[in-house]
């Protein structure tokens, strides 16, 4: 009896450890901003490695909590895991995917799996804080070029965004409220952009030597104010929100959508306050955002923005060039479809909604093949690439108009027009990223499922799966 009792105790300990490893794996994915379908796929694959029968396994994912239950009708074991920190960690998402496949193929011991999991969870980011801040600044500068600014204004937007991003990072490290930190960073970045634009066209610069004055002056001094805070625009949560809702993960999707609204609202509040302090007369409605650059300039700006956002998301440094090419393909395609004679540009003139859908779909289709060459998840490749197409200005203009209403006829219409256009563009970007992948799964998923099923059968034959009848609840 004692021997049997000891075996049951050891079996319970082993089962608890496996459930704990499964939840810790899911926690890294949740806190790294993986979409819910990917979290579920990776957790089920990890469960197969751990020997937990899928027919007995129940996984429930929420924004702040993971719940796992293993039950065969007679015995039931449950475990919960809190998920409090939410960032964007593309490298962690990629490494968890690789680990789940490697563990089951190479038959990792639990100790080895836990060691690899700990490395992923505790690893330092690939970039220093200042490298990330500078990359974020340059990404906003790339946005500014897409809005029609000149290259001098590009650098002004980059400087303001770099300092604003670094301030936000510092405030987050202190532990103050995240939404308040966003508002403060947006306020400071906008003030800096206004100061730089004012300086560029000041008499002080005009009196400088001709070559220096030419380098410092800009014909688009207001554009940096519209672009310097776009490092805050929650592109990943927006796309994950749409993906989750389309995949019927409604609860998590709604929470991500609400979080997106709060982030954009905090950003808009900081910008509006800065504009009031600076005494600017509602330039948001009147400033033209139609670009008149050549396509090679669009391409450079798109590559800079894609790599900049990928750096914020901690994408592996050696693969950044892949995102640069994807950003060029997505943005230039979007611009060609969107722009045209009505804006004195080269293109089909079909508008930004169709342009965004085609651009996102094209790059997503291309990356379906690329994932096999670089061994990175589709989400990690496609999302940073399409972020430069997210209509941050339209979202910002919508909220600004709502916050600045005075009861004048047409104000609400203007706000709703910008809001609806922004929503349609975001929806098209998310669909463009998701739909090609959904179609591709008709051919990819069966092969992966057959491979996984074969590996599971081999593990069952070696007695690697948990038998709940041997564990007394």
pLDDT digits over 181-193, tens only? 999 999 999 999 9
Q: What is the pTM of this model?
A: 0.88
Q: Are 358 and 429 in a shared domain?
A: yes
Q: Domain ends where: 124, 150, 168?
A: 124
Residue 473 has pLDDT above 50, yes or no: no
> What's the sign of the alpha-carbon dihedral 336, 341, 342, 348?
negative
Distance separating alpha carbons of residues 102 and 88, to the nearest angstrom:
23
199 & 260 share domain: yes
291 and 215 together in one domain = yes
CB atoms under 10 Å from CB of 222, counted, come to 18
Residue 452 counted as domain residue: no
Residues 352 and 209 in one domain: yes
CA distances from 122 to 89, 117, 170, 294, 373 (A): 12, 9, 20, 44, 27
Say what percent of the chain tops pLDDT 90.
41
Residue 447's pLDDT is: 62
pLDDT of residue 430: 84
Place of tokens 């049951």: 8
Look at the chain and report how many structural domains it folds into. Answer: 2
- 302 or 287, greater pLDDT: 302
457 domain-assigned: no
Please indicate, yes or no, if residue 445 is contained in any of the structural domains.
no
Residues 41 and 155 in one domain: no
Indicate whether 272 and 365 sit together in one domain. Answer: yes
Same domain, 290 and 310: yes
Within this chain, do residues 226 and 91 fall inside the same structural domain, yes or no? no
More confident position, 236 or 460 = 236
- Helix, strand, coil percentages (3-state) for the chain, rounded to 5, are 75, 5, 20
Name the strand (E) or helix (H) holding 62. Answer: none
**91 and 224 belong to one structural domain:** no
Residue 461 inside a domain? The answer is no
Exposed, middle or buried: residue 341 (CB in 10 Å: 0-12, 13-18, 19+)?
exposed
Residue 177 resides in a domain: yes
Same-domain check for residues 41 and 169: no
Tens digit of each residue's pLDDT (9 = 90 or more) over 132-180: 999 999 999 999 998 888 999 999 999 999 999 999 999 999 988 999 9
The C-alpha atoms of residue 223 and residue 197 are separated, in whole angstroms, by 9
* CA gap 334, 353 in Å, rounded: 9
In a domain, 198, yes or no: yes
Q: Beta strands 65-71 and 57-61: pairing type?
A: antiparallel
Q: Coil, helix or strand for 240? A: helix
Q: Give the per-residue pLDDT at 471.
A: 59
Whether residue 447 is contained in a domain is answered as no
Judged by DSSP in three states, 273 sits in helix
Is 283 among the domain residues?
yes
Give, as one character, the DSSP assignment of residue 65. Answer: E
| Distances in whole angstroms, Cα of residue 456 to Cα of each of 46, 335, 447 | 11, 47, 14
- Asked whether residue 135 falls in the same domain as residue 116, the answer is no
Q: Which domain holds residue 217?
A: 129-438
User: Last residue of a domain, which of 93, 124, 155?
Assistant: 124
Which residue, among 277, 132, 298, 133, has the nearest Cα to 192 in the 3D structure? 277
| 348 and 388 together in one domain | yes
- What is the band of 343 on the pLDDT scale with cuts at 50, 70, 90? confident
Helices (H), ranges, 375-465: 378-386, 392-403, 411-461
């Amino acid at each position: 009896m004692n021997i049997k009792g000891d075996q049951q105790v050891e079996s319970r300990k082993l089962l608890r450890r496996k459930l704990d490893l499964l939840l810790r794996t899911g926690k890294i994915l949740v806190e790294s901003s993986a979409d819910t379908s990917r979290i579920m796929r990776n957790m089920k694959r990890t469960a197969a490695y751990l020997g937990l029968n899928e027919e007995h396994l129940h996984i429930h994912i929420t924004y702040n909590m993971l719940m796992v239950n293993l039950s065969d009708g007679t015995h039931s074991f449950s475990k919960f895991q809190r998920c409090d920190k939410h960032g964007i960690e593309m490298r962690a998402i990629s490494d968890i995917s690789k680990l789940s496949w490697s563990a089951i193929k190479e038959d990792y011991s639990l100790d080895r799996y836990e060691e690899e999991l700990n490395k992923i969870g505790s690893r330092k980011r690939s970039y220093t804080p200042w490298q990330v801040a500078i990359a974020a600044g340059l990404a906003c500068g790339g946005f500014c070029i897409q809005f029609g600014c000149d290259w001098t204004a590009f650098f002004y937007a980059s400087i303001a965004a770099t300092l604003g991003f670094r301030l936000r990072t510092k405030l987050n490290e202190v532990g103050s409220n995240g939404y308040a930190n966003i508002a403060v960073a947006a306020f400071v970045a906008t003030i800096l952009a206004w100061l730089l634009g004012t300086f560029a066209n000041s008499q002080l610069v005009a009196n400088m030597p001709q070559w220096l004055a030419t380098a410092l002056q800009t014909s688009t001094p207001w554009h940096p104010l519209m672009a310097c805070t776009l490092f805050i625009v929650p592109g990943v949560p927006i796309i994950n929100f749409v993906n989750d809702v389309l995949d019927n993960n409604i609860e998590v999707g709604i929470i991500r959508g609400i979080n997106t609204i709060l982030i954009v609202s905090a950003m808009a509040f900081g910008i509006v306050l800065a504009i009031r302090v600076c005494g600017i007369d509602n330039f948001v409605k009147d400033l033209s955002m139609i670009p008149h650059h050549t396509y090679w300039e669009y391409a450079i700006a798109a590559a800079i923005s894609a790599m900049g956002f990928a750096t914020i998301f901690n994408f592996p440094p050696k693969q950044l060039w892949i995102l640069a090419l994807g950003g060029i393909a997505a943005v230039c395609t979007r611009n060609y479809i969107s722009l045209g004679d009505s804006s004195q540009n080269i293109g089909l003139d079909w508008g930004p909604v169709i342009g965004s859908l085609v651009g996102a779909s094209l790059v997503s289709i291309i990356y379906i093949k690329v994932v096999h060459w670089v061994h990175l998840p589709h989400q990690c490749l496609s999302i940073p690439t399409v972020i430069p197409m997210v209509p941050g200005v339209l979202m910002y203009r919508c909220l600004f108009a709502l916050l600045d209403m005075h009861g004048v006829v047409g104000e609400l219409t203007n706000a709703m027009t910008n809001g609806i256009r922004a929503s349609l563009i975001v929806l098209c970007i998310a669909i463009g990223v998701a739909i090609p992948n959904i179609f591709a799964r008709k051919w990819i998923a069966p092969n992966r499922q057959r491979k996984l099923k074969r590996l599971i059968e081999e593990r069952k034959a070696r007695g690697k799966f948990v038998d709940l009848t041997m564990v007394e609840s």
